[in-house]
A and B are shown apart, each in its own frame.
Chain A
Amino acid sequence: MHHILKAPFDRDKARILKAGDTVSLSGTIYTARDAAHKQMLELLKENKELPFDIKNQTIYYVGPCPCREGEIIGSAGPTTSYRMDAYAPTLIKLGETGMIGKGLRDQNVINAMKEYGAVYLGAIGGAGALMAECIKSQEIIAFPELGAEAVRRLEVKDFPLIVIIDSYGNNLYESGRKQFMKINL
């Protein structure tokens, strides 16, 4: 099934999306990857506020390329998500409803997604030039010293995504692969 989805979206919307569905996402999302996640969790530990209200928000795991003057953003495909696994359950608990990345997630993340209602959306790894076309504006809102890893607010239009793991724990990596697996190690 294909969904036209607007970000931010709440947990009820997240619950509608099923593994294997495709999504065109438009609206506001935030970027953060390894170093930004680490810093955000440190802020929480010190009882300080996050750079943005995480409730109902989607984080895109990306560190874009710089761009020439007059352009919006350089190549901006997803980074491998498992490196954010240590941090994601805390953010989901605080209301994060969407994560965009690529690659496997650990069980703690999936458990949090099931409990609180969040969805893991896949962008195509290695298609950074293509995905940058859907980004209509970007603004660094925190940790500028991190360069490519800074937290950015993005406006996206018709961002093409696939539901990889849904809020019920169904995993497209497992079900998709099963159909084509001819040898089992």
Chain B
Amino acid sequence: MREIDVTTIIKEVSRLCIQANYFLNIDIKQAMEKGVECENSHIGKEILDKLLINANLAADKKVAICQDTGMAVVFVTIGQEVHITGGGLSEAINEGVRRGYKEGFLRKSVVSDPIERVNTGDNTPAVIHYDIVEGDTLKIELAPKGFGSENMSALKMLKPSDGIEGVKKFILETVDKAGPNPCPPIVVGVGIGGTMEKASIMAKQALLRPINVRSSIEYVRNLENEMLDKINQLGIGPAGLGGNTTALAVNVETYPTHIAGLPVAINISCHVTRHAEVTL
């Protein structure tokens, strides 16, 4: 049994909160640079340029790329040979979020109740997903999610007869309806299969995959490429002011499902698509 103390987890989660919010990931940066070259709209090009300047400024000044520093979504993959010492794992993650958001001067955007809406003041609780696997390592992926884009996400329980064409239609309709709201250029995470909640979790997990890595399943890869192409023909463009750079990538994850169902979830993410990870 390998022991990992909560103090290590607190420290690492705190660091990940700051890292994910200050620094634009390299895959995104490269896609944006390519976008500047390929964008046909003059104003769209200018906006992509400004977003890159903004990212450099944030990294230099050590401030958040965007003021919506998100709700902390955490994917934990824990080996069954790991023993956490010194306290509870969930509490350690929340303590890490608490410290990271305070020390990093990140915005506290979480309210304690969806109806009564009193700010918790420390951006906790995080939304935590656990997966138990073999082995003795602990992987923590942290994805702070802003709600300008989260609010544009959607879930639909399609019929098996809707098939792949139904999936395509739903993806395009969702992006079309989102328009300028989620701060394009966007990254589109799609989860197909499983159950209602499994599809939604996959859609968010899909956003963790680097945007220059395509699915290993051929039909899924084709779907990703076709959807990116079609989304960029919707004309929404950078900041929604028109152009051909609406999405930087479409990442799709799939899972077995029930004979009677075809759940599809779409999680839209803004140009920052923050995520950072550590393996202990």
Q: Mark A residues whose CB is within 8 Å of B.
A: 35, 62-68, 74-77, 79-80, 82, 102-104, 122, 124-130, 132-133, 146-149, 162, 172-173, 175-183, 185
A80's contact among B148, B172, B272, by CB below 8 Å, is which?
A: B148
CB–CB B180/A104 < 8 A? yes
Residues of A within 8 A of B53 (CB): 130
> Other CB < 8 Å A-B pairs besides A124-B54, A172-B241, 19 of them?
A63-B67, A67-B63, A67-B105, A79-B68, A80-B182, A103-B180, A103-B181, A124-B50, A124-B51, A125-B270, A128-B65, A173-B240, A176-B43, A177-B236, A177-B237, A177-B240, A178-B235, A181-B233, A183-B233
CB of B79 within 8 Å of the partner chain: no
Residues of B within 8 A of A132 (CB): 63
Decide: A79 near B148, CB < 8 A? Known: A126-B272, A129-B63: yes
CB–CB A179/B180 < 8 A? no
Bound Cα distance from A147 to B271, whole angstroms: 26
CB–CB A176/B241 < 8 A? yes
Main secondary structure of the interface of A (DSSP, over half): loop
Total count of chain B residues near the partner, CB < 8 A: 52
B residues 40-62 near A (Cβ < 8 Å) are 40-41, 43, 47, 50-51, 53-55, 57-58, 61
Residues of B within 8 A of A176 (CB): 41, 43, 237, 240-243
Bound Cα distance from A162 to B238, whole angstroms: 13
Main secondary structure of the interface of B (DSSP, over half): loop
Bound Cα distance from A132 to B66, whole angstroms: 10
Residues of A within 8 A of B180 (CB): 102-104, 125, 173
Interface locus among B85-93, B106-114, B207-215: B106-114
CB of B5 within 8 Å of the partner chain: no
Residues of B within 8 A of A149 (CB): 119
CB–CB A64/B107 < 8 A? yes
CB–CB B179/A103 < 8 A? yes
